[in-house]
A and B are shown apart, each in its own frame.
Chain A
Amino acid sequence: MLSRVMNVQYESQKLAINYFQVALILFGAQLLFGLTTAIQYLYPQFLFGIIDFSVGRMVHLNAMIVWLLYAMIGSVYWLLPDETGIETVGIKIGRLLFYILTLAVTIVVVVYLVVQVGPGNAMSRWLIHEGREYIEAPRWADIGIVVVVLGFLGNVFATAFKGKRTGIVTVLMIDLLALAGLYLAGMFYTKNVSVDQFWWWWVIHLWVEATWEVYVAAVIGYGLIKTIGANRKIIEMWIWIEVAMLFGSGILGIGHHYFWIGTPEYWLEIGALFSALEPVPLLGMFVHVIYDWGKQAGKRTPMTNTPAFSWFVVTTFGNFLGAGVWGFMHTLPQINLYTHGTQWTAAHGHLAFYGAYVAALIGMMYIGLQGKYGLKEMRMTASAKWGITLLTGGVLGMTMALTIAGYVQTFIERGQWGATWQGYFVGQNSPWMIQAYGWRLAMGVVTILGFVFLMKDMMTIARTAQRENLKTESTATATA
């Protein structure tokens, strides 16, 4: 019988589950607004003047950033008691902050959707949105986020100092501190658009290609220990090697965003060199997971959580393909001069975010689910399989469609027409481009279907697993 009460003994892990729940709701919102904007590409009249493309896209992106952050905070609250061996210090404050953050996020989204735009003054920036892609949150919310994150960091640090401080926790502590500190670089107004974008990339790039990557390396390390019983010492050693490679290439890899925003020419060489090295750690991660997998298959020890492990496999492939391959294809300045700001970028953005972060964090959620109901073993259900297949297939399909769109756009608009206003629309009107947008929409629907299966699975997998476990137990006693 599935008990409705949570089976976790730590308050920290109960809070983690709440973070995961809100994350999933926001994931749904992200996909919904991705859908409206994808429809507008084909039928521009759709919701025109009601939820314009710009509004839908802002919600699409912000819901994504915020849900990934929720899932990241949740994962840390989940693994912290496991790692340190104690209840998280200050968990009551942690819970209070969760409610404050969720209230703030709700208000921000409602304002995005209802108020949408304001006059061109500082008030709009403080109360409505900041108008800078990915970090649109109005200033009041920025400050709120900083307060909440400081509280979260306080909890993590206090717990780590009081309990056992493992290597995984140490890496997370330093990384989260850097991740939070970088947010400050996006919190001021400047009159100069080049300076604006210079600091904007400190937040965006140094998040997704440095601090977030290290975060997932550490969390996947924890996940491998949990799901296939990987050796902790090896995992921790590898995390440090990954830190060296990721930060060594990713930090200066920021140069690939400083090619064309007014910044000096030396960034062309620096950006090319370091960003070309960025696929190397992703390859390293890939090889290491293969190695461990091979070893594990040899040992034939049972895998305790197949859905989680499957998602971790998707993340190593997805990160490598989306960030490594799709990133490298347009990162050298010679070609980026033509692809910069086209559908190429969107193709890369989708596969990279999905592969590197969505997949890894869904894996963590499955670990949470297993722990929530105290299951020794959790196997793939039919919905879990449909979920992972349709989500991954859908995003891959969208990426393919956008890659074709990006190629055509680069060719027509950039190559033949020199990126003029007219060239832009000649490109957009090309039948190739329109078909690609059609496929993107279709594959977006597939992605949403995958999400529906995922949600269904998350609500039912524990019950299925308990039934299975009971069955095996009773056959075991029967044969005994």
Chain B
Amino acid sequence: MEEQKISVWGSVRFWRNTAVWVTGFAVLLLIWLSLDTIPQISAGTIEDLENGVTKRVPSAAVINYEIGYELDNKRKTEIPIIGGKQMFFGRNDYSEEEATELVSHGKMTVQSKNCMNCHTLLGNGAYYAPDLTKSWLDPAWSETGPYRPMTGKATTEEAMAEFLQHPNKYPTHARMMPDLGITPDEAIAVVAFLKHMSSIDTNGFPRNFNKIKGAVNAK
């Protein structure tokens, strides 16, 4: 076969260079966007909460506050609204450090107990059980919902903590949650984690949540 002039389209070098440039560009753009995103999703501070500064991911101290989920007319999606102070297991004065540790303990428990392999968190995980993203705000746990009377507790947090420790005492469906050996401390921490998660601005996921009768009504 004689040596001949190969068109650029038939040149391995041309395509290799194209691949390198395209990939390099995509990687740089991803890194740049990540550098912008990470600060935006880092937790806010307790001062932000006190001064009404909205953060996509508020400080863990948000457990001291009432949380709502309402339609924002400009963005045309539901967004979390942080309201006035609210008791959480009889207190509303968790310091930033205390709350952060509590929520982190909750997250560690959620990981250790493998919640994500039955439920979804922020919509990611398994589909065997309900999504937990806004479970704190779910009408089922509210004053008018069925779960408080079922567990005999007066508040959402106590009802949730009780359920988590003894899920097989409260079968809500044929598909029961197993007893994962969650201790009282861990249960409180998990509820704190769930309450904090419900305050994250998820661009309106889950959709329609506030349309259902009996859902959230915080100011």
Contacts and interface: CB of A to CB of B under 8 A. Distances in A.
B103 A263 contact: no
Interface stretch (B45-53, B88-96, B151-159, B178-186): B178-186
Interface stretch (A96-104, A123-131, A143-151, A466-474): A123-131
Interface stretch (A63-71, A76-84, A152-160, A421-429): A421-429
B165 interface: no
A121 interface: yes
A6 interface: no
B27 interface: yes
B23 to A, nearest CB: 4
B110 A131 contact: yes
Interface in A256-291: 257-268, 270
A458 interface: no
Contacts of B179: 49
Given A41-B128, A418-B211, A131 B111 contact: yes
A48 B127 contact: no
A54 B208 contact: no
B124 A341 contact: yes
A337 interface: yes
Given A54-B118, A117-B112, A341-B127, A251 B30 contact: yes
A191 interface: yes
A270 B122 CA distance: 19
A341 B186 contact: no
A345 B131 CA distance: 14
Given A119-B186, A193-B197, A343-B127, A420 B116 contact: no
B204 A191 contact: no
Interface residues of A, number: 85
A175 B140 CA distance: 48
A414 B197 contact: no
A188 to B, nearest CB: 13
Interface string A142-181: 0000000000000000000000000100000000000000
B198 to A, nearest CB: 11
A420 B209 contact: yes
A192 B100 CA distance: 9
A343 B128 CA distance: 9
B86 interface: no
Contact of A119 (B23, B27, B138, B183): B183
A118 interface: yes
Interface residues of B, number: 92
B161 to A, nearest CB: 13
Contacts of B186: 119-120
Most chain A beta-carbon contacts within 10 A, residue among B19, B141, B204 = B19
Given A195-B41, A264-B37, A131 B201 contact: no
Contact of A417 (B109, B176, B212): B212
Contact of B56 (A194, A254, A345, A409): A194
Nearest to A124: B112
A124 B109 CA distance: 9
Contact of B107 (A193, A236, A257, A259): A193
B12 A233 contact: yes
B111 A49 contact: no
Interface in B192-219: 193, 197, 200-212, 215
Given A125-B111, A195-B38, A262-B56, A131 B116 contact: yes
Interface in B130-168: 130-131, 134-135, 138-141
B26 A261 contact: no
Nearest to B110: A131
Interface of A is mostly: helix
B183 to A, nearest CB: 7
B183 A419 contact: no
Given A262-B122, A428-B175, A420 B200 contact: no
B42 interface: yes
Contacts of B204: 260, 337
B127 to A, nearest CB: 6
Interface string A180-205: 00000000010111111110100000
A240 interface: yes
Nearest to A37: B128
A117 B113 contact: yes
Nearest to A254: B30
A252 B180 contact: no
A118 to B, nearest CB: 5
Given A120-B189, A240-B18, A252-B26, A420 B140 contact: yes
Contacts of A124: 108, 111-112
Nearest to B141: A421
A386 B117 CA distance: 33
Interface in B33-62: 33-34, 36-38, 40-43, 56-57, 60
A136 B111 CA distance: 9
Contact of B103 (A119, A191, A197, A244): A191
A175 B19 CA distance: 12
A428 B127 CA distance: 10
B29 A252 contact: yes
A119 B127 CA distance: 24
A421 B131 CA distance: 8
A377 interface: no
Interface string B59-73: 010000000000000
Nearest to A240: B15
B125 interface: yes
B206 A261 contact: no
B114 A191 contact: no
Contacts of A192: 41-43, 57
A31 B202 CA distance: 34
B84 interface: no
Given A118-B112, A129-B114, A259-B205, A251 B23 contact: yes
21 contacts: A48-B176, A48-B178, A118-B112, A119-B109, A119-B183, A120-B189, A121-B112, A136-B114, A191-B60, A244-B22, A248-B25, A251-B26, A259-B205, A262-B41, A262-B201, A263-B40, A263-B41, A270-B33, A343-B127, A409-B127, A418-B215
Interface of B: 10-12, 15-16, 18-19, 22-23, 25-27, 29-30, 33-34, 36-38, 40-43, 56-57, 60, 75, 100, 103-118, 120-131, 134-135, 138-141, 172-176, 178-183, 186, 189-190, 193, 197, 200-212, 215
